[in-house]
């Protein structure tokens, strides 16, 4: 993959990875979804994002099946711990369960899924213990807004956070105002979730946008590919579209071929204006 992102722990990861929410839930589509993930891996999307609570472990098990033929070191596996499990020995228990579902003995990145009620310091301590035990290579957070990140930065060891995974697509770009600049300044990479706005389900019809269609036609691309190229345009963002279809996986990886110009981005800003003030973080 041409577009790569360097994380603060030195890892270099593809800017386009694969989401897996809802995958593994239905027996009828299981084989097709395994094939889709494998097609995505072979097309360069070797980063796979899952979570302990996706289908109560079914998504992690599906990923475990999909990655069986591949050399572990060629992959970058991400999973997430729920806040209710993100402290003390509970985190290690969750992590061991995720590792067993995935059929591996380490995660490349482990994320704190959303802000819970317990102090961030407890999560950081447990993450650092998992890192020292060699079970995770790096840790990060998800759905944390600017004030949460500032609070994390004041915690001992909190600055080891490599990634913040938050919702980001053209129709929901409130983080462009303060969170993203803060993350750039503090070398925290963005992992953009729902980069396709769930193809219209999130109330934003990206694929029906005339501007996207025009830019796509200019490059011989699809609107989905332009939406992904836009999401990763800053060189510090990883987008994780999810698909259960091989042909979509190959097409999504193909977004790597496109670099949007300043003129393209200005046209997109016209149709999907950047924020002019702090907006609350959107969470899906």
Residues at the interface with ligand NAP (CB under 6 A): 19-21, 49, 113, 142-143, 165, 193-199, 224, 240-245, 248, 251-252, 284
Q: Residue 201: count other Cβ atoms within 10 Å of its Cβ.
A: 10
CB of 154 to ligand NAP, least distance (A): 23
Least distance from C-beta 6 to ligand NAP, angstroms? 21
Toward ligand NAP, which CB reaches closer, 199 or 271?
A: 199
CB of 189 closer than 8 Å to CB of 8: yes
Among candidate residues 30, 54, 70, 106, the one labeled active-site is 54
Q: And the tokens for 21?
A: 């929410």
Which one-letter DSSP state was computed for residue 164?
Answer: E
Active-site residue, 54 included: yes
- Beta carbon nearer to ligand NAP, 196 or 226: 196
Q: 277 a known binding residue? A: no
Q: Closest approach of Cβ 244 to ligand NAP, in Å?
A: 4
Residues in the chain, total: 284
Q: Which residue ranges make up the annotated binding site?
A: 113
Catalytic positions: 54
């Amino acid at each position: 993959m041409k577009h790569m992102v360097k994380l603060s722990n030195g890892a270099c990861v593809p800017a386009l990875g694969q989401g897996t929410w809802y995958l593994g839930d239905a027996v009828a589509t299981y084989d097709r979804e395994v094939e889709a993930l494998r097609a995505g891996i072979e097309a360069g999307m070797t980063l796979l994002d899952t979570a302990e609570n996706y289908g109560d472990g079914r998504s992690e098990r599906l990923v475990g099946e999909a990655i069986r033929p591949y050399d572990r070191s060629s992959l970058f596996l991400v999973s997430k711990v729920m806040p209710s499990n993100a402290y003390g020995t509970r985190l290690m228990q969750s992590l061991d369960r995720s590792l067993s579902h995935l059929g591996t003995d380490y995660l490349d990145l482990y994320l704190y899924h959303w802000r819970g009620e317990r102090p961030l310091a407890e999560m950081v301590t447990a993450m650092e213990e998992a890192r020292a035990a060699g079970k995770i290579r790096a840790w990060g957070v998800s759905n944390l807004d600017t004030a949460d990140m500032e609070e994390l930065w004041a915690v001992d060891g909190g600055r080891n956070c490599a990634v913040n995974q938050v919702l980001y697509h053209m129709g929901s770009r409130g983080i462009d105002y303060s969170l993203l600049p803060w993350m750039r300044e503090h070398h925290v990479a963005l992992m953009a979730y729902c980069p396709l706005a769930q193809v219209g389900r999130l109330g934003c019809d990206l694929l029906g946008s005339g501007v996207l269609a025009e830019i796509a036609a200019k490059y011989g691309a699809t609107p989905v590919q332009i939406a992904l190229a836009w999401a990763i345009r800053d060189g510090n963002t990883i987008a994780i579209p999810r698909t259960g279809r091989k042909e979509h996986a190959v097409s999504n990886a193909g977004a790597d071929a496109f670099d949007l110009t300043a003129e393209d981005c200005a046209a997109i800003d016209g149709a999907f204006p950047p924020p002019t003030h702090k907006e609350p973080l959107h969470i899906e």
